[in-house]
Structure 1
Amino acid sequence: MSARYSLEQQLNFTLRLFALLTVLELLNMVTGRQLNHLALIPRELDALGGIFISPFLHGSLMHYASNIIPICLFSVLLMQYGRKTWWQASAFILLVTGLLVWLLGRNAYHLGASGMVYGYFGFLLFAGFISRSIKLVAISLLVGFFYGGLIFGVLPMSPYISWESHLFGFLVGIAAARLFVKKTTS
């Protein structure tokens, strides 16, 4: 396991993530959602940048509100695996989920942090069991208990929800756990 963030660093980082997403949401709101033209649109070359930008944009205040708590909470929980693992898993989830949505998603605007939320969710569900650390297994069990209902979000239930981001995020999160988590002896 790589060097860990101190509790103060974890909270500081999470506060900055919260502030970034909140400022972007407010800016997007006051501009009439003009930033959403930067969203990921599958198979549109001009929209490839959306892979990196779209997780920071939301379609509505309710969309933002549904993502902000889980992205911050899951980010802190993923930090328990160490700095290097947090950065590797986060970059992998962002990039690979975005690429899969760009390649395979339906022709629509895909935006919001939910691809990252589901990526972190998939990671956290499985990484504890891979590590075999009692603390990390406890995190996996708690995430499953409190957030297990998220699994239904991978199904195409609404034309206005990017279930593709949810599905690919979840699967990529599991892959990230397999790639970046090592078995521990504790």
Structure 2
Amino acid sequence: MLPAQPAPDTDPAKRVLPPNPKAAAIVALGFTLLLYLVELADVLIPGDLDQGGIHSRELSGLDGVLWAPLLHSGWSHLFSNTVPVLVFAFLAMAAGIGRWVVVTAIIWVVSGLGVWLVGPSNAVTVGASGLAFGWLAFLLVRGIFNRSVAQIAVAVVLLAVWSGMLWGLLPGNTGISWQGHLFGALSGVLAAWVVARSDKSRSGKAV
């Protein structure tokens, strides 16, 4: 028998908005609230939590890959990441929260390892901007992998609104980790490819 092909409007891989917008909004808001709580703790607790970020090419700083996206160098740094994190995280749940967790894990780990390998020496990299760039890149290319006109249309809108973020991929801005942005974007593309391959594999097995 031929593989069953879901109708375009019911194919989870081609959805534009989360199937459960309320739950997706709660997750996005909850993650953002966690970032604010961590920053508040950094202000109130003696010591510098930001030192738990990524120390490039230092084995002792490798665990910073896990903590860096939760840490920020100050409130202004966190404020600048808030709207992109909220919007991109929400839209990236179009295939469900479980799939979003997989995408986020790929971006989190791969971008962090990239920064650890090529980031600046004698510096600590922190911030959720790598995640934001990863989710944005995921949203920009998923429509191409899924051959979804609706997802490509959303990508065009996102690119028009946040095109200024692309400058963050280039070196030259002091105090800004272009490495984190670049590897975040690359890991977002990787996540979109992995998810698309998984969806095609599942579709091919359906009868």
- Fold conserved between structures, TM > 0.5: yes
- 1:70–1:32: structure 2 CA closer, same or farther, 3 Å change rule? farther
The verdict on how the C-alpha distance between 1:177 and 1:47 changes in structure 2, with shifts beyond 3 A counting, is same
1:82 aligns with 96
Give the C-alpha shift of residue 30 in structure 1. 2.6
Unaligned runs of 5+ in 1: none
Aligned 8 A contact 1:33 1:59 in 2: no
* Residue correspondences, number: 184
1:33-78, Cα deviation, whole Å (9 max, x unpaired):
7111101011111111110101000001110001111011100010
For the pair 1:48 / 2:75, whether they are aligned, the reply is: no
Determine the structure 2 residue equivalent to 1:146.
Answer: 161
TM superposition shift of 1:32: 6.5
Rounded to whole Å, the distance in 2 between the matches of 1:33 and 1:64 is 19
Q: Determine whether 1:8 maps to 2:22.
A: yes
The structure number with the bigger radius of gyration is: 2
Is the 8 Å Cα contact of residues 52 and 61 (structure 2) preserved in structure 1?
yes
In 2, the alpha carbon distance for the partners of 1:161 and 1:99 equals 17
Distance in 2 between the 1:145 and 1:59 partners? 28
Per the normalisation by structure 2, the TM-score is 0.82
Instruction: Name 1:98's counterpart in structure 2.
Output: 112
| Whole-angstrom CA distance in 1 between matches of 2:185 and 2:90 | 18
Structure 1's 77 and 45: CA in aligned 2 closer, same or farther, altered over 3 A? Answer: same
The one-letter code matched in structure 2 to 1:13 is: V
Q: 1:119 to 1:105 in 2, by over 3 A?
A: same
Q: Is the 8 A contact 2:19 2:95 kept in 1?
A: no
Runs of 4+ off more than 4 Å: 2-5
Equivalent pair of 1:5/1:83 in contact (CA under 8 Å): no
* 1:124-144 Cα shifts (integer Å, max 9, x gaps): 111122212233222211111
Within 2, Cα distance between the matches of 1:121 and 1:12? 19
Mapping of 1:11-30 within 5 angstroms? 11-30=25-44
RMSD of Structure 2 on Structure 1 (CA): 2.0
Determine what percentage of the aligned residue pairs are the same residue.
Answer: 33
User: Higher helix fraction: Structure 1 or Structure 2?
Assistant: 1
Q: What is aligned with 1:118?
A: 133
Tell me, yes or no, if structure 1 residue 170 matches structure 2 residue 185.
Answer: yes
In the TM superposition, residue 173 of structure 1 has moved relative to its aligned partner by 0.8
Structure-2 separation of matches of 1:180 and 1:64: 29
